[in-house]
Each structure stands twice: as structure tokens, then as C-alpha cells.
Amino acid sequence: MGPPDPRERFEEMYTANYADLLGYVRRRTESADDAADALAETFTTAWRRLDDVPEGEQARLWLYGVARKVLSNQRRGESRRSALAGRLRDELGAWDAGAWDEAMPQQDTGAIRAAFQRLGADDRELLSLVSWEGLDTAQVATVLGCSRGAVRVRLHRARKRLARELHAAELDLTRYGPRATALVKGQP
């Protein structure tokens, strides 16, 4: 009789240890999804390193060790994501506070935001890529996966729709400089 079939060995190990490992990771995670991820990662590691997995009862202990490391990695990852999210919230809060011209009346900023939000998602994305991200038409074409000509046409139409929304809100943007004035020149 030849060496045991790796697949059979894995299936036997999986069947024998699944319930115990599920209980182990479930008691140490906050959600069923986190437990499922940890369990999947544990058994994926076991499959990749099947030759390193000891036989019998030692296999269960080895799997607990792997699960422990997987859970530790999950916690570290979550901690990093939480810290990053906190830093981003702080940065975005600071950016948002300074994003609008201090001289612009508060009602104008609210009306501009509302007009922008009334645009379709595609128009908002296109205008954001150009205005906030500072991309040119070639770069926007790459991001959107279309031609430069299509970007120019879409951008022209998006600007006209924004100008109509701003006009409907009765905003006089000419007092905010040439870029704002250029935006509203094509109003109906």
C-alpha cells in the first residue's frame, strides 16, 4: 500500500476537527463572519502545509496553534484598519472644514453641496475627478476606461447640468471668481 492520499487525509482531519475549531474561533471572534474567515484560513493553511501537520491528536493541537495565529493576525489587521480609519476621519474632518472658502457664506456652501448631490452619480464622479483630484482628460479617460473625447463630452454635459442646478438654487457664483463664472456661462 502506497502513501496516504493527501485529499483523504485532509478530509479526515477536517471532519474530525471542524466542530472543535469552529467553537474555538467562534468564542474568540465578535461575528460569525470573522469566525468563518478564521476557520477557512486555518484549514487553508493546513492544506498548504499538509506535510507539516502531525498525525492523530497532535493534528488537532497543531490546528489550534494555527487558528490562534490566524486570530492574532485578524486582531492586528482590525487594529490597523481602525487606526487608519481614525486618522482618515481626522484628516477628512480637517480637510472638510477648510475645503470651502472662508469668505463664502454658509448658505452658499450648503446650496452648492445640495446642487452637486442632485447630479447623477456619474456626473458627480466625473466632476470630482477633475475638480477635487485634479486629473486632466487623459487621466480621467484612463480611470473611466473610455476615450478622451468621451470624457470631454461628458464633462461638458456634467458642467452644464451642475450650472443648471446652481442657477435653479439662485446662486450668484460670479462673485467667486473666473472658474465659477466660467461654470455658469452656459446656463439656460
Same fold, 6-95 and 102-184: no
Do the beta carbons of residue 179 and residue 166 sit within 8 Å? Answer: no
Higher-confidence residue of 82 and 64: namely 64
Looking at 1.10.10.10, 1.10.274.100, 3.90.1530.30, 3.80.10.10, the CATH number of the domain 102-184 comes to: 1.10.10.10
Between 106 and 28, the more confident residue is: 28
- Nearest Cα to 154, choosing from 127, 134, 136, 182? 127
Domain residue ranges in the chain: 6-95, 102-184
The answer to whether 21 touches 39, Cβ cutoff 8 Å, is yes
Tell me which of 73-87, 102-116, 130-144 is least confident.
102-116
Please say whether the structural domain 6-95 has been given the CATH code 3.10.20.30: no
pLDDT value at 66 more than 90? yes
Which among 42, 52, 70, 60 has a CA at the least distance from the CA of 6? 52
Tell me, what's the pLDDT at 184? 54
Whole-angstrom distance, CA of residue 166 vs CA of residue 185: 12
The per-residue pLDDT of the chain, averaged, comes to: 83
Per-residue model confidence (pLDDT) at position 32 = 93
pLDDT tens-digit readout, 134-171: 889 999 899 889 999 999 999 999 988 988 888 887 77
- Mean pLDDT of all residues in 174-182: 64
Instruction: Summarize the confidence of residues 54-75 as an average pLDDT.
Output: 93
CB atoms within 10 A of CB 165: 19
Choose between 156 and 178: higher pLDDT. 156
| pLDDT at residue 14 greater than cutoff 70 | yes
